[in-house]
Amino acid sequence: MDDEEFQNVSSGKSKLEDIINSRITLVIQAESWTSQSYTQHGYQTGQSNQTANPTTGSGSSSYGSPKPPTTYQNKDINCQTYSYKYPYQCIKCHDSYTINNYGICQIVIAQCLEYSNSKCTKCSDGYFVTSQGKCSANLPNCAKHNPTTCKCAQCNPGFYLDYSGNCQIQLPPNCAKVNYKGVCILCNTNFYLLGQLCVPIIQFCKTYDQVTGNCSVCVDSYTLKDQYCVDKNCLTANKSICIQCAPGYFLNSSNQCEPINISYCIEVNPQKECVKCLPNYILSNGQCF
């Protein structure tokens, strides 16, 4: 080999070494850039055999899986740490944020147990879900809440709903329904509304005293006795129920005094047959002779 040939070989070898050294430098720079990019954007760095493309901002590993985005354009700004494994979801959010079922960081909703579409779907005990997807405290004595107004829609038994949507004290005695001011407007069965009070209905009463609630006038054929209406021909009664009729009358199945239409008879049975005659009269076959 002459001098000219030797110089050509040496020159070619030197160029090859320059090319190899240049490739090694690019690889080192790319690995350094990838590590800095992952750290800067909140990713956990993976294994050393993962490389990135410094031109596009994305890369691929020796296993063929795509690398997580390295620009803020594709990053959840509320995420603190991403998983280095595909699909590179957020595994830790910043303070005051939590990961929802879509893997996105959303602000923590007080007293919320379960989330969906950035809204709360289940709250802690003592709270209910509002229409805005938040948690609001249960109102006292409230059985059902309005999720839109956050006011009570239905109270527990024994309480009434006022105009503010709150449950107030127990209903007035014998009252079935009150208005928003707590004034009774409907009484229970066997009671009638007298002003704002529910008073007992007196059987056979026609007119009540508007101050005391007692009966003042009875219907026809009844008379007022001890604040109750009894049959006019009743001798003894328990409230409005007759127990014994006056002479010449008998107590029928409706507890009313009915005239005895059998001559000289003073007592009959439910079948309206005479069972007792006046003195000096003889009872025979339900008749007095």
Q: Where are the domains of the chain?
A: 30-108, 202-237, 247-289
pTM, whole model, 2 decimals?
0.39
Check residue 80 and give its pLDDT: 85
Closest residue by Cα to residue 27 from 1, 56, 48: 48
Taking the C-alpha atoms of residue 45 and residue 88, their distance in angstroms, rounded to an integer, is 11
Closest residue by Cα to residue 158 from 171, 149, 147: 171
Closest residue by Cα to residue 218 from 207, 210, 226: 207
Beta bridge partners of 205: 218
User: What is the largest distance, in Å, between two alpha-carbon atoms of the chain?
Assistant: 179
58 pLDDT higher than 80: no
Check residue 74 and give its pLDDT: 56
248 pLDDT higher than 60: yes
Is 93 in contact with 80 (CB distance < 8 Å)? yes
Check residue 55 and give its pLDDT: 35
Taking the C-alpha atoms of residue 74 and residue 83, their distance in angstroms, rounded to an integer, is 15
- Percent of the chain exceeding pLDDT 70 equals 74
Beta bridge partners of 114: 122
Residue appearing with tokens 């901002």: 57
Given phi > 0 = left and psi -120 to 50 = alpha, else beta, which region is 37? alpha
Mean of all residue pLDDT scores within the chain: 76
Is 10 in contact with 18 (CB distance < 8 Å)? no
55 or 140, higher pLDDT = 140
Check residue 152 and give its pLDDT: 92
- The three-point CA angle 207-210-211 to 5° equals 135
Check residue 18 and give its pLDDT: 62
Backbone φ, ψ for residue 11 (5° rounding):
-65, -40
Using 50, 70 and 90 to split pLDDT, how confident is the model at 97? confident
Model confidence over 103-141: pLDDT tens digits?
778 778 888 988 887 788 899 899 999 988 899 999 999
